[in-house]
Amino acid sequence: MRMGMRIAVLVFVLFATIGCDQSTKAVARAYLEPGQPVRLLGGVVMLAVVENPGAMLGLGEFLPDAVRFVLFVFAIGVVLVVALGYLAFSRHLSRHVVVAGALTVAGGFGNLVDRIVQSGCVTDFVILGIGRYRTGVFNVADLAILSGIVIVVAHVVKSRPSKGFGA
């Protein structure tokens, strides 16, 4: 992918993802009451605002504030900047990897913005499921991160040569 096109894709995906993520989180904080889930589509989709001080699924939420800041703001911020630089300046990356990386980095930045402006917490508000089987609470940034990972895995699986049965 040419450098100009790569930069345009990165900028577009970053702004679109972070903008959508921050907008939906602002709406969730403004209109959803903590502890009062809103059920949609017969309960398949539930909206419930949760301020998550930890990482995915609350990992690290019980760490001291200073440790969480160093890990979830400083260290993650450095990793995201390095990853963005790699995506922008590596000449050998396919368009699939650039788009997937852009989604993953944009999702990381969306949650990083939350940590900086929301006292170290990330706003999560979407739960999917049927009956007792439910996802954890997530947001648009988490969905972007997951989408980027799925794109890379699908691309890797698709590009591997098939060996057939019993090989």
Catalytic residues: 124, 142
- Extract the tokens encoding 59: 């990992």
Q: What is the distance between the alpha carbons of residues 86 and 82, in angstroms, rounded to a whole number?
A: 6
Which residues have C-beta within 8 Å of that of residue 107, sequence separation ≥ 6?
17, 21, 140, 141, 142, 143, 144, 145, 146, 148
H/E element, 77: helix 76-89
- Extract the tokens encoding 128: 């999917």
